[in-house]
Structure 1
Amino acid sequence: MKPLISILIPAFNVESWLAKTLESALAQTWTNIEIIVVDDGSRDNTLTVAKRFESTCVKVIHQENQGQSAAENRALQEAQGDFIQYLDADDLLAPDKIERQMKLFEDGNLEYVASCEWSRFYKSPSEAMFIRQPLWADFEPVDWLLCAWENHLMMHGAAWLIPRQIANRAGGWTESLSLINDFDYFSRILLASQGVKFCWGAKTYYRSGNTSSLSGSRSALAWKSAFDSLELGTNNLLARENSERTRHACATVFQRFIYEAYPDVPNLVQAANAKVQEFGGSNLKPTGGPVFRLLADTLGWQKARQLQRLIYQYGYNKLAIGWKISKLRREVLYRLSISSNI
């Protein structure tokens, strides 16, 4: 009998997208699947949508809101499969995604994890453009992490197909984490394996532009989660290999955190800077658009970032209105000064 694949879907306030996600899971050409949806205390109709799909192969669980990591763990605990397929509740799988990847395991490569092609889309998966990336290759675990962290690359979470024995060795999701919780979790998955087998032709679709997405959160608690996840992930890597190259990659991820988090959470920026120094420093430079680069060259990247955040806070329209009011004010003062001199 073919191995059973467990497709695990944590769901929170995703009534608009969950049906399409479930349809993509049910459309898999690899038919021996179970789908486990964990509704994490949604306040919309997510649970109602999920219940419409409930069947012998779709299990729906409702729990009080505990966060995505807790929902992932609940699904993992319920899973009976030989392989684990994670799937966010607004993303999609190509119909033959799992079947293509399972061919990589035909020779008994159960100590490896499989990855695949992925692309972003906003409204329709037809928008997706699958452009080759450096991570689209076979890797040893440490080399994969170095490539990803040094070059700020990612692998869509749904792109992985994980033998259950590797998932068991890696352990569960850290439930105190929210933002970039996958940085910690998938680093453990990789380091519990012998490496990554990349599967050309297998595809997943990553929805972008979802304003309620966890990845878009920038609260102080979210930043703390991001810092903690980076700390856990870098500790995972250094426990395997503590070398000049791994320490540089660790310094780089914390340097990138500094550029992204400044000036929102000064205490965490300070802690991240200490990490960068501890690991020997990073040569990573701040990045941004043409306006940011111009400001950074003249004012320094910190002041440029502050101005950038100010623009985001008040919005380009408000900024434009303010500029027009300021211009009008200057014009009035100028005319008053001319009148007083006549």
Structure 2
Amino acid sequence: MEKSGPLVSVCMPAYNAGKYIAEAVGSILDQTYANWELIIVNDGSTDDTAAVLKQFTDPRISIYQQKNSGQCAAANKAFALSKGSLIKFMDADDMISPGYIAEQAKRIDDRDDVIASAAWGRFYNDDISTFKQNEDLIRQDCKPIDWLVSSMDNGKQAMMQCAIWLIPRAILEKSGLWDERLSLVNDFEFITRVLLHANEIRFAPNAVLYYRSGISNSLSALTSRPGVESAFISLYEGTSYMLQYENSPRVKAAVADCLQNFVYAYYPHHTDIISKAQQRVKELGGSKAKFPAGGYTKMLNQLIGWKLTQKLKAFFDR
């Protein structure tokens, strides 16, 4: 057990996470790095989250209750209650490897202008044996803008999951916290803004995030007006930070591809928002991102084009 090193504050918002949160907390308790605190903000859960959390008696764990205010507000509350010089935001349904914090803290090496990243992969249907590490990782240390552009290369969706990062408090005090207007895709705007306030991103290859996938989200929530608006605002503002930082052809291309993928994902819902995204893509010189399709969707796309394909999918999803 590593007892030295700066205090690391793990900030964990939780909403109806009773099924998963014990595993998430357990992965913190299993850390080889001992100098941490875990601040959990139960954001008005209506399930057994509060009851599950009662089993944890480690004095490094603090639990706070608040009325439901959204993930961003809960994360900001946890940060306000934290004391560490290094901060990790973490969802209540993911897990991290035992040496995760130790490896990332070592990579930061007492710098207040460096953010540590990590390896990650997905597991499905709550079965950790299905875990597969993502092979498309940026494994070298690099400048934040280089990381962002590389993570969007060829129209890829940048992986912004909050637990990937260990962030010095000094950077967060400059960048600002989570935008509480946002719900869907809220991590993109926040993480992009934070990364661009650092001088370097350092990769910790032996730190591995186990990202839980396959949790059902209602289609109505994903395509609701507030949800789509949140996703657009987050992507628009996050990519605007990139352009403000470096207004170059490579950044314009990455931003255009990112917004084109938003169009592909949400068309034909809320066409006024989609039109704003399309206009932005046009202003940036257009996008080469291809419509993501496989199986019957790929066949339909070849026969009738992506717009009609998406309209058919939306019709049958209803």
Please, what TM-score do these two structures have when normalized by structure 2?
A: 0.93
Aligned to 2:119: 117
Q: Which amino acid aligns with 1:33?
A: W
- Is 1:284–2:317 an aligned residue pair? no
- Is 1:67–2:70 an aligned residue pair? yes
User: Which of 127, 137, 140 pairs up with 2:140?
Assistant: 137
The 1:213–1:5 alpha-carbon spacing in structure 2 relative to 1, beyond 3 Å, is farther
The 1:72–1:271 alpha-carbon spacing in structure 2 relative to 1, beyond 3 Å, is same
Cα deviation code 1:255-279 (max 9, x no counterpart): 1111111011211111111111122
User: Which of 171, 175, 184 pairs up with 1:170?
Assistant: 175
CA deviation after TM superposition for structure 1 residue 212, in Å:
4.7
How far apart, CA to CA, are the structure 2 residues paired with 1:229 and 1:154?
14
The 1:136–1:156 alpha-carbon spacing in structure 2 relative to 1, beyond 3 Å, is farther
Q: Tell me if structure 2 keeps the 8 A contact 1:36–1:75.
A: yes
- Is 1:146–2:162 an aligned residue pair? no
Greater RCO (CA < 8 Å, at least 6 residues apart)? 2
Please, what TM-score do these two structures have when normalized by structure 1?
A: 0.86
User: Which of 310, 315, 318 pairs up with 1:305?
Assistant: 310
Q: Tell me if structure 1 keeps the 8 A contact 2:161–2:187.
A: no
User: Which of 2, 5, 14 pairs up with 2:5?
Assistant: 2
Alignment of 1:1-342 (within 5 A): 1-106=4-109, 108-122=110-124, 123-150=126-153, 151-212=156-217, 217-313=222-318
Pairwise CA RMSD: 1.8
Q: Which amino acid aligns with 2:60?
A: C
Q: Tell me if structure 1 keeps the 8 A contact 2:108–2:115.
A: no
The 1:131–1:174 alpha-carbon spacing in structure 2 relative to 1, beyond 3 Å, is closer
Q: Tell me if structure 2 keeps the 8 A contact 1:40–1:67.
A: yes
When Rg is computed on C-alpha atoms for both structures, the one with the higher figure is 1
How many residue pairs get matched? 311
Q: Tell me if structure 2 keeps the 8 A contact 1:87–1:157.
A: yes
Percent same amino acid at aligned positions?
37
How far apart, CA to CA, are the structure 2 residues paired with 1:240 and 1:258?
24
CA deviation after TM superposition for structure 1 residue 213, in Å:
8.7
How far apart, CA to CA, are the structure 2 residues paired with 1:85 and 1:219?
30
How far apart, CA to CA, are the structure 2 residues paired with 1:54 and 1:60?
10
The 1:265–1:147 alpha-carbon spacing in structure 2 relative to 1, beyond 3 Å, is same
How far apart, CA to CA, are the structure 2 residues paired with 1:153 and 1:42?
29
Cα deviation code 1:84-142 (max 9, x no counterpart): 11110000011111111222133x43311111111111223232122422423322111
Q: Which amino acid aligns with 1:111?
A: D
**Unpaired segments ≥5 residues, structure 1:** 314-342
**Unpaired segments ≥5 residues, structure 2:** none
Q: Which amino acid aligns with 1:233?
A: G
Cα deviation code 1:47-103 (max 9, x no counterpart): 222233254211111111110000110011111001011110000011111111222
Which structure shows the bigger proportion of residues in helix conformation? 1
How far apart, CA to CA, are the structure 2 residues paired with 1:6 and 1:62?
18
Q: Which amino acid aligns with 1:117?
A: A
